[in-house]
Structure 1
Amino acid sequence: MSSPIYIRIHNDLKESIEKGKWQVGDRIPAERELAEKYGVSRMTLRQAVQTLVDEGILERRVGSGTFVARKKVQEKMSGTTSFTQLMENQGKTPSSKTISYQVTTPSLSEQEHLKLNDHDNILRMERIRYADAVPICFEVATLPYSLVKNYQRSQITRSLYQTLQEHGLEIGHAQQTVSASSASEKIADYLKIKRGAPILKLRQITKLTTGLPFEYVRTEYAGERFEFYLEK
C-alpha cells in the first residue's frame, strides 16, 4: 500500500531537516520552488508543508515564508483529552463530521510517534468535532490499524476511548503539546470562523496502560470557543 504523494513529500522534507540540510530558524524554499522540484501542484505541496507545520516541525511567518521551527517552552499537562468526555462533562452534546477515513501507510512522524514497523499500516481520519452543533475543532487522528481493524467505523468515530474500554483495554497517560496559531483558509471554513482567527493547536500521543501508544492526534481548536485548563 503506497502513501499519498503529500506524505512522501512530508517524509522527504522531514528527513532533510533531520539530516541538517536546514537548521532551526532557516527558511525553507518557497512553495513554488518546492512544487517544481517534486513535480506536483502547489496544493499538494502546501498540504505536505502544512502537515509539518501541524506537527510543530515547521512554522509559517506572515510575509516572510516558512521556517524550521524552534523548540518551544513546554508546560507538562496531566490526564488524557477525550473530546467526547470533555463535552459530556460540560453538559453539551458531542458530535462529529468525518472528512476523511482511510487505511494507509504512515508518515515518518506517525511511524515514530506510534512506534510502528515499516510494514505496519495506520488508520488516519480527519473530523470536525462539534458541541451542541457548534464546530469546536478540526482533528486528524492516526491509529495503528492492527489495533482497530476489527472495530466498526461507527465504533471508532463515535468514541474511540469508550470502544477500547468496552473491549478490555485501559487508557493510560498522554503526552500533550499546546501552541497558538491562526486559522488557515481550510480551518476557517471548517470551523466557521474568520481566516487568521486565533487557533489553539494540540498534539497528543495517548498510550494504553501497557505503555503502547495507540493514538496520535493533531487538533486545531477555535480559540474563541475553547480553552485549556491546567491544575497543579
Structure 2
Amino acid sequence: MKVPVYIQIHNEIRKEIESGKWAVGERIPSERQLSQDFDVSRMTLRQAIQTLVDEGILQRQVGSGTYVASSKVQEKMSGTTSFTEITESQGKKPSSKTVSYHVADPSISELEKLKLKDGDQVLRMERIRYADQQPICFEVATIPIEIVNTLNKKDITSSLYKALEDKAGLKLGNATQTVSAILASEKIANFLNVKRGSAILRVRQVTTLDDGRPFEYVRSQYAGDRFEFYLER
C-alpha cells in the first residue's frame, strides 16, 4: 500500500529534526518554502506539519512560525482513559462522528509508539467525540490492524475498549499519557465549534493490553473550557 504523501513528508521532516538539522527551539522554514522544497501543495505540506504538531514534535507560535518543540514536564496518570466511560460517569450521553477511517502504513511515530515491525499496517481513524451532542474533543487513533481484524467498523468507532474486551476477548492494561496546552488551529476550531486560537488540551496516549502489547496510539485535542483531567494520587 502506498504511503500517503503527507506521511512521507512527516517522516522526512522528523528524520531531519532527529539528525540535528534544526535544533530544539529553532524555527523551521515557512510552509511556502517547505512546500517548494518537497514539491507539494501547501495543503499537503500543512497536513504533514499539523501531524508533527499533534505529536508534540513541532509547536506553532502565532504570528511567529513553527518551531522544534522543547521537552515538556510529564505527569503520570493512573489507569486507562475511556471517553465513553468518563462521559457516562458524568451522567451524559457519549457519541462520536467519524471523520476518516482507513487502513494505512504507519508513520515513524506510529511505528515506534506501537512497537510495530516493517510491513505491519494500522487502522487510522479521526473522530469528533461528543457529550450530550456537544463536541468535546477531536482525536486521531491508530491501532495495529491485527488487533481489530475480528471487529467491525461500528464496534471500533462506538467503543473500542468495550469491543476489545467483550468481542475480542482481550484484557486492557495500562495507559501512558502526556498532556499539554496549545491553541486551536482553524481545523480543530471548526470541529469543536470554538474560536480559532482558543485554549486546547492536547493529550497523547499509548494504551497497552494486559500482556504489555501497545494496541492504541491516540492524539486528542479537547476544548479547554469543556473538559478537565482529574489526577488522584
The one-letter code matched in structure 1 to 2:141 is A
The one-letter code matched in structure 2 to 1:225 is R
Q: Which whole-Å CA distance do the structure 2 matches of 1:158 and 1:178 have between them?
A: 24
Q: Which whole-Å CA distance do the structure 1 matches of 2:4 and 2:85 have between them?
A: 32
Shift of 1:24: 0.7
RMSD, matched Cα: 0.7
Q: Which residue of 1 is the match for residue 28 of structure 2? A: 28
Deviations 1:11-31 (A, max 9, x none): 000011111111111111110
Q: Which residue of 2 is the match for residue 43 of structure 1? A: 43
After superposition, where does 1:112-151 map in structure 2 within 5 Å?
Answer: 112-151=112-151
Shift of 1:168: 1.6
Q: Which whole-Å CA distance do the structure 1 matches of 2:19 and 2:185 have between them?
A: 29
The reply on whether 1:16 has 2:10 as its aligned counterpart is no
Q: Which whole-Å CA distance do the structure 2 matches of 1:199 and 1:25 have between them?
A: 21
After superposition, where does 1:49-64 map in structure 2 within 5 Å?
Answer: 49-64=49-64
The one-letter code matched in structure 2 to 1:180 is A
Q: Which whole-Å CA distance do the structure 2 matches of 1:208 and 1:75 have between them?
A: 21
Q: Which residue of 2 is the match for residue 207 of structure 1? A: 208
Q: Which whole-Å CA distance do the structure 2 matches of 1:25 and 1:194 have between them?
A: 27
Q: Which whole-Å CA distance do the structure 2 matches of 1:195 and 1:25 have between them?
A: 24
Unaligned regions of 5+ residues in structure 1, if any? Answer: none
The one-letter code matched in structure 2 to 1:174 is A
SS in 2 for 1:154: helix
Deviations 1:145-188 (A, max 9, x none): 11111211000001000011112211100000000011111111
SS in 2 for 1:84: helix
SS in 1 for 2:206: strand
SS in 1 for 2:56: coil
Q: Which whole-Å CA distance do the structure 2 matches of 1:159 and 1:74 have between them?
A: 27
The reply on whether 1:72 has 2:72 as its aligned counterpart is yes
Q: Which whole-Å CA distance do the structure 2 matches of 1:208 and 1:17 have between them?
A: 31
Q: Which residue of 2 is the match for residue 171 of structure 1? A: 172
Q: Which residue of 2 is the match for residue 195 of structure 1? A: 196
SS in 2 for 1:23: coil
Deviations 1:111-161 (A, max 9, x none): 000001110000000000000000000010000011111211000001000
Unaligned regions of 5+ residues in structure 2, if any? Answer: none
- The two structures have a TM-score, normalised by structure 1, of 0.99
Shift of 1:63: 1.6
State the identity as a percent: 64
Shift of 1:78: 1.0
The one-letter code matched in structure 2 to 1:17 is I
Q: Which whole-Å CA distance do the structure 2 matches of 1:45 and 1:153 have between them?
A: 29
Q: Which residue of 2 is the match for residue 96 of structure 1? A: 96
Q: Which whole-Å CA distance do the structure 2 matches of 1:67 and 1:27 have between them?
A: 4
The one-letter code matched in structure 1 to 2:108 is L
Q: Which whole-Å CA distance do the structure 1 matches of 2:97 and 2:109 have between them?
A: 25
Q: Which whole-Å CA distance do the structure 1 matches of 2:94 and 2:38 have between them?
A: 41
Q: Which whole-Å CA distance do the structure 2 matches of 1:132 and 1:43 have between them?
A: 33
Q: Which runs of 4+ in 1 moved over 3 A?
A: none
Q: Which whole-Å CA distance do the structure 2 matches of 1:216 and 1:135 have between them?
A: 21
SS in 1 for 2:14: helix
